[in-house]
Amino acid sequence: MNLAIRITALTVSCLVLSSPLQAQVSSLYVEVTSPTGPIRGAEIQVWFQDVVIAGGWTNDEGVADFRPVPSGTFAVEVSAFGYTSSRDEAVRVDEGARRNLSVRLGIVPIELEGIVLGPDQA
Protein backbone atom coordinates (compact mmCIF):
# COMPACT_ATOMS: atom_id res chain seq x y z
CA MET A 1 0.00 0.00 0.00
CA ASN A 2 1.52 3.33 -0.97
CA LEU A 3 1.85 6.32 1.37
CA ALA A 4 -1.04 8.35 -0.13
CA ILE A 5 -3.51 5.49 0.34
CA ARG A 6 -2.35 4.94 3.96
CA ILE A 7 -2.78 8.63 4.82
CA THR A 8 -6.25 8.67 3.23
CA ALA A 9 -7.27 5.53 5.15
CA LEU A 10 -5.99 7.04 8.40
CA THR A 11 -7.87 10.31 7.76
CA VAL A 12 -11.12 8.46 7.03
CA SER A 13 -10.67 6.36 10.19
CA CYS A 14 -10.19 9.49 12.32
CA LEU A 15 -13.28 11.13 10.83
CA VAL A 16 -15.42 8.07 11.50
CA LEU A 17 -14.20 7.73 15.09
CA SER A 18 -14.92 11.39 15.89
CA SER A 19 -18.25 11.60 14.07
CA PRO A 20 -21.50 12.50 15.86
CA LEU A 21 -22.87 9.09 14.88
CA GLN A 22 -21.41 7.67 18.09
CA ALA A 23 -23.95 7.07 20.86
CA GLN A 24 -24.42 10.12 23.05
CA VAL A 25 -25.20 9.70 26.74
CA SER A 26 -28.31 11.45 28.06
CA SER A 27 -28.86 12.18 31.75
CA LEU A 28 -31.59 13.31 34.10
CA TYR A 29 -30.62 15.60 37.00
CA VAL A 30 -33.38 15.95 39.62
CA GLU A 31 -33.28 18.52 42.43
CA VAL A 32 -35.91 18.13 45.17
CA THR A 33 -36.68 20.96 47.58
CA SER A 34 -39.32 22.07 50.08
CA PRO A 35 -40.14 25.47 51.60
CA THR A 36 -37.41 24.76 54.18
CA GLY A 37 -34.66 23.69 51.75
CA PRO A 38 -33.31 20.57 49.99
CA ILE A 39 -34.92 17.20 50.78
CA ARG A 40 -32.43 14.44 51.58
CA GLY A 41 -33.59 10.86 50.96
CA ALA A 42 -36.50 11.64 48.61
CA GLU A 43 -37.36 8.62 46.46
CA ILE A 44 -37.39 9.17 42.70
CA GLN A 45 -38.77 6.78 40.09
CA VAL A 46 -38.45 7.30 36.35
CA TRP A 47 -41.24 5.56 34.40
CA PHE A 48 -41.55 4.64 30.74
CA GLN A 49 -45.12 3.56 30.14
CA ASP A 50 -45.81 1.05 32.98
CA VAL A 51 -42.18 0.18 33.74
CA VAL A 52 -39.74 1.83 36.16
CA ILE A 53 -36.52 2.30 34.17
CA ALA A 54 -34.52 4.12 36.87
CA GLY A 55 -34.84 4.92 40.53
CA GLY A 56 -32.94 6.16 43.53
CA TRP A 57 -32.80 8.65 46.39
CA THR A 58 -31.60 12.22 46.70
CA ASN A 59 -28.30 12.98 48.40
CA ASP A 60 -27.66 15.49 51.22
CA GLU A 61 -28.09 18.38 48.76
CA GLY A 62 -31.48 17.04 47.57
CA VAL A 63 -30.07 15.90 44.22
CA ALA A 64 -30.22 12.66 42.24
CA ASP A 65 -28.37 12.26 38.95
CA PHE A 66 -29.45 9.45 36.63
CA ARG A 67 -27.14 8.50 33.78
CA PRO A 68 -27.23 7.07 31.30
CA VAL A 69 -30.91 7.32 30.51
CA PRO A 70 -32.38 6.78 27.06
CA SER A 71 -33.76 9.76 25.19
CA GLY A 72 -37.55 10.04 25.21
CA THR A 73 -40.47 11.22 27.31
CA PHE A 74 -40.91 9.81 30.81
CA ALA A 75 -42.99 10.19 33.95
CA VAL A 76 -40.98 11.16 37.04
CA GLU A 77 -42.41 10.41 40.47
CA VAL A 78 -40.97 11.95 43.66
CA SER A 79 -41.98 11.14 47.24
CA ALA A 80 -40.59 11.66 50.73
CA PHE A 81 -41.88 11.03 54.25
CA GLY A 82 -43.53 14.17 55.62
CA TYR A 83 -43.98 15.80 52.21
CA THR A 84 -46.52 15.86 49.40
CA SER A 85 -45.63 13.66 46.43
CA SER A 86 -45.22 14.76 42.82
CA ARG A 87 -45.61 13.09 39.43
CA ASP A 88 -44.70 14.82 36.18
CA GLU A 89 -46.02 12.82 33.21
CA ALA A 90 -44.08 14.57 30.44
CA VAL A 91 -40.37 14.88 31.22
CA ARG A 92 -38.52 15.01 27.92
CA VAL A 93 -34.88 13.91 27.74
CA ASP A 94 -33.15 14.76 24.46
CA GLU A 95 -30.41 12.56 23.00
CA GLY A 96 -27.00 13.49 24.36
CA ALA A 97 -28.43 16.15 26.67
CA ARG A 98 -28.67 16.66 30.42
CA ARG A 99 -32.28 17.34 31.49
CA ASN A 100 -32.55 19.40 34.69
CA LEU A 101 -35.75 18.91 36.67
CA SER A 102 -36.59 20.90 39.81
CA VAL A 103 -39.32 19.47 42.04
CA ARG A 104 -40.75 21.35 45.03
CA LEU A 105 -42.69 19.28 47.57
CA GLY A 106 -44.98 20.75 50.22
CA ILE A 107 -44.76 19.85 53.89
CA VAL A 108 -47.38 17.48 55.32
CA PRO A 109 -47.43 17.10 59.13
CA ILE A 110 -47.74 13.49 60.29
CA GLU A 111 -49.93 12.72 63.32
CA LEU A 112 -49.16 9.59 65.34
CA GLU A 113 -51.63 9.06 68.20
CA GLY A 114 -51.71 12.68 69.28
CA ILE A 115 -48.08 13.48 68.40
CA VAL A 116 -47.60 15.68 65.36
CA LEU A 117 -44.31 15.37 63.47
CA GLY A 118 -43.09 17.63 60.70
CA PRO A 119 -40.26 16.67 58.31
CA ASP A 120 -37.60 18.16 60.61
CA GLN A 121 -38.68 15.99 63.58
CA ALA A 122 -39.09 12.67 61.73
Annotated domain spans of the chain: 24-108
Distances (CA, A) of 26 to 4, 10, 36, 98, 121: 39, 30, 31, 6, 37
Q: Specify the pTM.
A: 0.72
The Cα–Cα gap between 66 and 84 comes to 22
Per-position pLDDT tens, the chain of length 122: 554 444 444 333 343 444 343 457 899 999 999 999 999 999 999 999 999 999 999 999 999 999 999 999 999 999 999 999 999 999 999 999 999 999 999 999 877 777 766 666 55
24-108 has which fold? Immunoglobulin-like (2.60.40)
Cα–Cα–Cα angle for 90, 68, 81, rounded to 5 degrees = 60
